[in-house]
Amino acid sequence: MTERHEIFTDYAVEQRRQFAIFLAQLRAAEPPFSDASVMQPDEVGQWHAAVYLLTGCGPVWDALGPAVVAQSSLGAVREALESPRRWTESQRAAMEWALHFWAPDSFPATFPAFRGFLFTRWIVAAHLRQGVVPVIRLERP
């Protein structure tokens, strides 16, 4: 094995370790996310991204979370978007992006209409999907 290959391998191992720590911290801080997140292996970033975004949108998670967890599926989210129920712009965006994080080729999404908390959550979710730890600073006013 070449030295360059060993460095890359060590870096990849360290990245996975850091991501596992980050995911564990998110789970410890947020029981609803933890309940849904543990349904898929740590390597399935698409799932973690989708449920992280959904659990951050209270009205959506309250309405759909039990079905998502019971079915271990985002089917309830897709059905909710197709239903006549009125959702706010942010709620619809959270659902659309959750589906996009899960299957981007099947569920296109446009830049989200999030503000504040949900925008920050969307950024973290995008990192979860890629399996990397975000390097952002959250500052409170």
The mean per-residue pLDDT over the stretch 59-86 comes to 95
User: Under a CB-based contact definition with an 8 Å cutoff, are residues 33 and 55 in contact?
Assistant: yes
Residue 13, pLDDT > 80, answer yes
Q: What is the pTM of this model?
A: 0.86
The mean per-residue pLDDT over the stretch 97-111 comes to 92
Cα–Cα distance for residue pair 108/104, rounded to 1 Å: 6
- Main-chain dihedrals φ then ψ at residue 46, nearest 5 degrees: -60, -45
Burial of 132: CB neighbours in 10 Å, binned 0-12, 13-18, 19+: middle
